[in-house]
Amino acid sequence: MAHTETVRYSVEDGIALVRIVNPPVNALSAAVRAGLVEAARRATDDPAVVAMVIAAEGRTFIAGADITEFGKPPVPPILPHAIAALEDVPKPVVAAIGGAALGGGLEVALGCHARIAAPAARLGLPEIKLGLIPGAGGTQRLPRLIGAVAALRLMTDGSPIDAAAALALGMIDAIAEGDLLPAAIARARALAASAAAPRRSRDATSLGPREAFEAEAAALLGRHADNPSVAAAIEAVRACYSVPFEQGMEQERAAFRRLLDDPRSQALRYVFFAERASARVPRLPPGTAARPVTQAAVIGAGTMGGGIAMCFANAGIPVTLIETSAEALASGIERVGSTYDISVRRGSLAPEARAARMALITGKVGLDAAADADLVVEAVFEEMALKREVFAALDCIARPGAVLATNTSYLDVNAIAAATGRPQDVLGMHFFSPANVMKLLEVVRGAATSAEALATAVQIGSRLAKVPVVVGVCHGFVGNRMLAARSVQAERLLIEGALPQDVDAAITGFGFRMGPFAMSDLAGLDIGWRIRKATGKTAPVADALCEAGRFGQKTGKGYYLYQPGDRTPRPDPEVARLIEAVSARLGIARRPIAAAEIVERLIYPMINEGARILDEGIAARPGDIDVVWLHGYNWPAWRGGPMHHADSIGLAEVAARLAAFAAQSGDASLAPAPLLQRLAARGEGFATLREAAA
């Protein structure tokens, strides 16, 4: 039977040892659940067994329910029943927690009569991150065991805690001093020897006063008013006070099942798998090894270069920060120092850690300082001639095998690579601003980039705690190319009748933290203006703002007005007049535009561009595009990313609206892209492509 492979049962000296072997993370698949029920039965029925120990092989204890089973018809035994079977064993059952006990994994441990953990174990209820609540007794057993307030905090925060913290809370009974398994067996034996009946978490009486729970619940609801999982977790824990355990379990299950079907949870589960899939580099020959990186160099100590140098220092990698003059270098290093100072003042960075990180950053003038680096990241001005000059120089300076990366936002990585005699070592490493904060790293694969260089960039990205996504060469790669499609529409909406605050409100209403115009004011309007002037392009509203000296926050006014020392964007009647004048000049009769139309006008052209990006092979999977938007542009995770969002609406609807926009505006680029049309005609979604790619 399948479960005999994933759950191994043996008896030695009266102790039934149950070992879960379900790599990679011992998720509670149907076979594991069945194996646990079978083990409970055997241990109960075997008179030679005095106690049972549940352990797991590998780095994790149990990472939780098998998320791949969610959304499919449940296969019995369901997890709450499997856990009840363990809890009902009339002999002591001890959980030996060697690694992560998460979600259903912690719930299994809570169903045992005692818990002993290795010092490195981590315990938590991360269901909230998947838009869920614990669904196998976590909301009923944990509050009774450690108190409702502490339990509610854990399940609404979702982050795991370490063994020491779990012990302090009373979540586990002991931390193993030496080897875990012998310690767990010894404890099981001791419990069996004592006359006491097995201690069930459901009978624990540490719930704590209801007033404290209600105060915590009110505070949480205030902070997370728009998160249905938080409300559901509160409701479920509240049941501990009002109804018997079994009824509480039923209420928990009902809420869990309801949330499973919620589009938010579907999106968050999609994101979980998209993030993991994006870490797998497409078309990489098996056995490709990343090159070791022990020393890095960053060229240009400006906005991006300083932030990128911080990323290396934060990861403990020595980095040389290179500038053209001592003055530019000094101000770059000073900016890095003051960014760290903010963290020290906030208490998120210890002064010693600040000193250690600064010590890893060595400032140097001149490119020769890049000679020892295993990886060089260029972050000089966005000018092709300059970048080619820098790469040609690096070709003579850098050691053989060094990976040479450019942080260019838009430029042709192949043209930059061609300035060297080693294009196989050249690629893009596109960080996002602020580089020390934003998680996304677009790794741009050039036509000649070698598999090893690519693997090196991806691996170093993970070491820098970034989310690396491999993309191909095109203007703006994945993120900025789609952003450009949105920006064009945002400008048009202004000319047709909306004001910046209308557009931004529609987009924050959709779930973004910031609208496109507040974002432009933050980034500065002058750079785009200069590029447009150089390339003969226009954007009537943005150009008019720049001509009026409105460059955004840096000049105290842009699309909005800013009070000195205050970053709050305030609508400005002068901007409204300026926009109305542009509409009049272009002969456009302004009209009210509803928030729903604004959202469609901004998001659907991005999806269309995403379809082109997929068709051209610039991104390998729709999920990669979604990961780019989630981690580079703060796309709301519960909407899963633009491509998932398109699927959730239905591609036929998206295509029809795009066709209508194209007809209204006469802009053929808005017509649904061929891939979008093909999928829509077949009634399929982008997810079909994801499956094909995998």
Contact residues for ligand NAI, defined by CB under 6 A: 299-305, 322-324, 328, 332, 379-382, 386, 390, 407-409, 431-433
**What are phi and psi for residue 585, nearest 5 degrees?**
-60, -35
Q: Which does 299 bind (CB under 5 to 8 A by kind): ligand 3HC, ligand NAI, none?
A: ligand NAI
In DSSP notation, 406-440 reads E--SSS-HHHHHTTSS-GGGEEEEEE-SSTTT--E
Q: Could you tell me the two tokens for 577? A: 């007049």
Catalytic option among 38, 87, 127, 275: 127
Antiparallel, parallel or unpaired: β 7-12 and 15-20: antiparallel
* Helices 228-242 and 263-278, axial angle in degrees (round to 10): 120
H helix runs in 616-669, sequence order = 622-632, 642-649, 651-665
Q: Which does 60 bind (CB under 5 to 8 A by kind): ligand NAI, ligand 3HC, none?
A: ligand 3HC
For the CB of residue 379, give the shortest distance to ligand NAI in the complex, in Å.
4
Q: Which does 107 bind (CB under 5 to 8 A by kind): ligand NAI, ligand 3HC, none?
A: ligand 3HC
The residue nearest ligand NAI at its CB is 302
Nearer residue to ligand 3HC within complex by CB, 3 or 91:
3
Give the helix, strand, coil percentages of the chain, each rounded to 5.
Answer: 55, 10, 35
Nearer residue to ligand 3HC within complex by CB, 107 or 491:
107
Nearer residue to ligand NAI within complex by CB, 216 or 323:
323
H helix runs in 13-137, sequence order = 30-45, 79-87, 104-111
Burial label for 349, CB within 10 Å (0-12, 13-18, 19+), is: middle
Q: Which does 381 bind (CB under 5 to 8 A by kind): ligand 3HC, ligand NAI, none?
A: ligand NAI
For the CB of residue 215, give the shortest distance to ligand NAI in the complex, in Å.
43
**DSSP code for 75:** P
Q: Which does 276 bind (CB under 5 to 8 A by kind): ligand 3HC, ligand NAI, none?
A: ligand 3HC
Nearer residue to ligand 3HC within complex by CB, 101 or 680:
101
Q: Which does 468 bind (CB under 5 to 8 A by kind): ligand NAI, ligand 3HC, none?
A: none
The amino acid that residue 99 corresponds to is G
Antiparallel, parallel or unpaired: β 426-431 and 440-445: antiparallel
* Residues 496/590, Cβ–Cβ less than 8 Å: yes
Nearer residue to ligand NAI within complex by CB, 332 or 363:
332
Write out the H or E segment, with its range, that includes residue 346. helix 326-346
Nearer residue to ligand NAI within complex by CB, 431 or 512:
431
Nearer residue to ligand 3HC within complex by CB, 92 or 640:
640
For the CB of residue 431, give the shortest distance to ligand 3HC in the complex, in Å.
22
Within 10 angstroms of residue 222's Cβ, the number of other Cβ atoms is 8
User: Would residue 107 show up in a list of annotated catalytic residues for this protein?
Assistant: yes
**DSSP code for 673:** P
For the CB of residue 168, give the shortest distance to ligand 3HC in the complex, in Å.
22
Nearer residue to ligand 3HC within complex by CB, 25 or 55:
25
Nearer residue to ligand NAI within complex by CB, 403 or 411:
411
Write out the H or E segment, with its range, that includes residue 15. strand 15-20
Q: If you count them, how many residues does the chain have?
A: 694
Q: Which does 314 bind (CB under 5 to 8 A by kind): ligand 3HC, ligand NAI, none?
A: none
Q: How many CA atoms lie within 13 A of 634 on its CB side?
A: 14
Nearer residue to ligand NAI within complex by CB, 57 or 382:
382
For the CB of residue 380, give the shortest distance to ligand NAI in the complex, in Å.
4
CA-CA distance, 455 to 284, in Å (whole number)? 8
Q: Which does 300 bind (CB under 5 to 8 A by kind): ligand 3HC, ligand NAI, none?
A: ligand NAI
Q: Could you tell me the two tokens for 582? A: 């542009």
Nearer residue to ligand NAI within complex by CB, 40 or 304:
304
For the CB of residue 415, give the shortest distance to ligand NAI in the complex, in Å.
13
Q: Could you tell me the two tokens for 199? A: 């201690």
CA-CA distance, 481 to 608, in Å (whole number)? 11
The residue nearest ligand 3HC at its CB is 103
Which residues of the chain form contacts with ligand 3HC (CB under 6 A)?
24-25, 27, 60, 63-68, 79, 100, 102-104, 107, 126-127, 130, 134-136, 138, 273, 276
Q: Which of 297, 279, 313, 317 is nearest to 443 (CA)?
A: 279
For the CB of residue 29, give the shortest distance to ligand 3HC in the complex, in Å.
8
CA-CA distance, 417 to 428, in Å (whole number)? 10
Write out the H or E segment, with its range, that includes residue 142. helix 138-146
For the CB of residue 688, give the shortest distance to ligand NAI in the complex, in Å.
33
Q: Which does 65 bind (CB under 5 to 8 A by kind): ligand NAI, ligand 3HC, none?
A: ligand 3HC
Q: Which does 423 bind (CB under 5 to 8 A by kind): ligand 3HC, ligand NAI, none?
A: none
Nearer residue to ligand NAI within complex by CB, 632 or 672:
632
Number of helices followed by number of strands (H, E) in the chain: 30, 17
For the CB of residue 625, give the shortest distance to ligand NAI in the complex, in Å.
18
Residue that is written with structure tokens 């809370």 in the block: 169
Q: Which does 126 bind (CB under 5 to 8 A by kind): ligand NAI, ligand 3HC, none?
A: ligand 3HC
Write out the H or E segment, with its range, that includes residue 469. strand 467-472
CA-CA distance, 658 to 672, in Å (whole number)? 6
For the CB of residue 326, give the shortest distance to ligand NAI in the complex, in Å.
11
Q: How many CA atoms lie within 13 A of 445 on its CB side?
A: 20
CA-CA distance, 105 to 117, in Å (whole number)? 13
User: Would residue 38 show up in a list of annotated catalytic residues for this protein?
Assistant: no
For the CB of residue 90, give the shortest distance to ligand 3HC in the complex, in Å.
25
Catalytic option among 38, 107, 378, 452: 107
Burial label for 266, CB within 10 Å (0-12, 13-18, 19+), is: buried
Q: Which of 277, 301, 249, 303 is nearest to 137 (CA)?
A: 249
Q: Which does 559 bind (CB under 5 to 8 A by kind): ligand 3HC, ligand NAI, none?
A: none
CA-CA distance, 601 to 486, in Å (whole number)? 8
List C-alpha distances in Å: 435 to 285, 319, 361, 432, 553: 30, 15, 15, 5, 19
- Give me the active site residues, please: 107, 127
